[in-house]
Amino acid sequence: MAEYSAPLKDMRFVLDNIADLASLSKLEGYEHAESDVVDAVLEEAGKFAANVLSPLNKPGDLQGSHVTDGVVTTPDGWKDAYAGFVEGGWNGISAPEEYDGGGLPSAVSLATVEMWNSANLGFALCPLLTQGAIESIIAHGTKEQQDKYLKKLVSGEWTATMNLTESQAGSDVGALRTKAEPADDGSWRISGQKIFITYGDHEMSENIIHLVLARTPGAPAGTRGISLFIVPKYLVNDDGTLGERNDLKCVSLEEKIGIHASPTAVMSYGDNGNCVGYLLGAENKGMACMFTMMNSARLGVGVQGLAVAERAYQQAVDYARDRKQGQAPGMPKGEMTPIIHHADVRRMLMTMRANIEAMRCLIYLNGACLDRAHHGPDAETRETAMGMAELLTPLSKSWCTDLGVEMASIAVQVHGGMGFIEETGVGQYYRDARILPIYEGTNGIQALDLVGRKLGLRGGEPVKNMFADMQETVKGLAAAGDEMTAMSLQLNLAVSALKDATDWLYGNAPNDPHAAPAGATPYLRMFATTVGAHLLGRSALKARALLNDGAADAEFLKAKIITARFFMGQILPTATALLGPVTAGAETLFAIDEELLSA
């Protein structure tokens, strides 16, 4: 099982040419994001991922986390690795400098997050949740709460969790039963149980800050009556030191098909009637506060899909180079051929490569849009960027996590029978990836959010802007000529089909409550695949321009163009074909009586 090697060259290409790092570094607050600084950050992150996190990945999967008498123990080496993560300052590289963060753009931070997750997804889940809590407390916390919690969370000395799910509620958060009762001192007493709490307890950090959704007395039913509370594992004194243990505990750890090293806890609050919590934001506005964390987590989970696909791809390429079987046309007779020379294996590898490069473009662009939304020079620029970020987030989360599973499955296939044997390790990527389309809002929910809310943002402005950008790419490819002409035609067909699908949803959704939900998932796939093609088209145009200017790394740039051609010719047509499923309506979905579905 080969160790992970960060694809720094491609990461930097995407940061420069899709995220436009040069323009980000001109925004107020990002002036220090200079080229040499970013290079140094990425290089050192790559070393930590390869040398510290990657070697722990398979052993961590085999050993797993365990709980005994309410005490959770992570795999061997985990605690030391996390201490190194904190010492290196990796947890807060994009957090505001006023809280001792690095203040780098999110686009750069996402590149490091990709590395952590490629190297060791089970480990990387811990800082993912902490990052979301940081953003929630910055956005909704009082000055006192920010002063008390943020520096320790930014440094990573303390970690954080997100507590939404309850066994009877699932994705229906409004059905939660956890209670919060007011106390005389302005704090609250929390009681209830939560499930699926990632890193709900562990020994890697000195404190864990739980963000817990609960219902206050007399609160309205459903999501309108939910509030969010800060519930520390250890109470924090006014001087910042740790006080007594709070009344909360890990009841058990879930037995999962993957991410075994990550302790997914069942958490119980207030068994002794004295679990202290502090209201974050306004009462009954918990969902608005939590969505600050959720949106951060959703983009982070999209990165996980990209990351696990990259790790699986690297191992598949290495295996295909080494494994000899059969004889490919044109190879010397009497010699077994490395399977990388077989056309079908090459098709699988190119499918992985092209999708990974498209995902990376989408994720980093999404991050750059968030950077411009927060640091843009004027209100209109910030609003436009936020609209684009909100449009891209469900695409990043859903498409990239679906592809993470699919690309990991292809990696197993490249290994043949050995892929189904745990010894090779490639099966772990497939098992680990399978949770990604489920948590932080299932991909079906993301699709419903896309068609139900994101298409109508600001009167449809973000969608119109995206179509305008895609048409510019179509024109640019056409003007470039040669092999770019075919790419222009293929992208134009897909954009036209996507416009037709979008118009159909706009026209039918208001009149048929089933129309949009029935077509939502294929529409999201159609949209994201077309955006991915558009971004690869932009990459190809930039690569061509650099080649014409005599850039040094000609082979890398030529490969960018070839990868874009492959995506346009062999992957993009599947998006165009989704016009039918998007516009089919719901009639056949409900035509069979539910009793007959089991017949």
Distance CA 462, CA 282 (A): 30
Q: Are 328 and 337 in contact (CB under 8 A)?
A: yes
Distance CA 157, CA 293 (A): 19
Q: How would you label 219-233 residue by residue, b for 16+ Cβ within 10 Å and e otherwise?
A: beeebebbbbbbbbb
Average pLDDT over residues 88-116: 95
* Active site annotation includes 440: yes
- Residue 32 has phi, psi (to 5 degrees) of -85, 0
Q: What is the pLDDT of residues 375-387, one digit of tens each?
A: 999 999 999 999 9
Residue 362 in this model has a pLDDT that exceeds 70 = yes
Out of 380, 440, 483, 594, the active site residue is 440
Q: First vs last Cα of the chain: how many Å apart?
A: 44
Q: Are 338 and 392 in contact (CB under 8 A)?
A: no
Token pair of 271, please?
């068994």
Distance CA 194, CA 425 (A): 32
Pairing, β 207-215 against β 226-232 = antiparallel
Region of 151 (left: φ > 0; alpha: ψ -120 to 50; beta: rest) is alpha
Q: What is the pLDDT of residues 109-166, one digit of tens each?
A: 999 999 999 999 999 999 999 998 999 999 999 999 999 999 999 999 999 999 988 8
Token pair of 384, please?
């436009």
- Residue predicted with more confidence, 512 or 370: 370
Gyration radius from the chain CA atoms: 24
At 498, is the pLDDT very low, low, confident or very high (cuts 50, 70, 90)? very high
Distance CA 79, CA 84 (A): 9
| Helices 8-17/106-119 angle, 10° precision | 160
- Own/partner pairs, 344-351, CB within 8 angstroms, 24+ separation: 345/320, 345/414, 347/570, 348/316, 348/410, 348/413, 348/414, 349/313, 349/316, 349/317, 349/320, 349/414, 350/563, 350/566, 350/570, 351/407, 351/410, 351/566, 351/570, 351/571
- Residue 12 has phi, psi (to 5 degrees) of -70, -35
Q: What is the pLDDT of residues 563-572, one digit of tens each?
A: 999 999 999 9
Average pLDDT over residues 46-57: 98
Query: Which range (36-50, 210-224, 371-385, 423-437) has the least confidence?
Result: 210-224
Q: What is the pLDDT of residues 106-117, one digit of tens each?
A: 999 999 999 999
At 212, is the pLDDT very low, low, confident or very high (cuts 50, 70, 90)? very high
Residue 58, pLDDT score: 97
Partners of residue 227 on adjacent β-strands: 214
Q: What is the pLDDT of residues 69-79, one digit of tens each?
A: 889 999 999 99
Distance CA 271, CA 274 (A): 8
Partners of residue 41 on adjacent β-strands: none
Pairing, β 71-73 against β 66-68 = antiparallel
Residue 268 in this model has a pLDDT that exceeds 70 = yes
Q: What share of the chain in percent tops pLDDT 70? A: 98
Burial label, 127 (beta-carbon count in 10 A; 0-12, 13-18, 19+): buried
Residue 227 in this model has a pLDDT that exceeds 70 = yes
Q: With H, G, I as helix, E, B as strand and everything else as coil, classify residue 320.
A: helix
Residue 173, pLDDT score: 62
Q: Are 152 and 85 in contact (CB under 8 A)?
A: no
What's the chain's length in residues? 599
Residue 169, pLDDT score: 59
Q: What is the pLDDT of residues 233-247, one digit of tens each?
A: 999 999 999 999 999
Residue 21 in this model has a pLDDT that exceeds 90 = yes
Q: Are 158 and 146 in contact (CB under 8 A)?
A: no
In 49-120, which residue ranges form alpha helices assigned H by DSSP? 54-63, 78-87, 106-119
- Residue predicted with more confidence, 333 or 63: 63
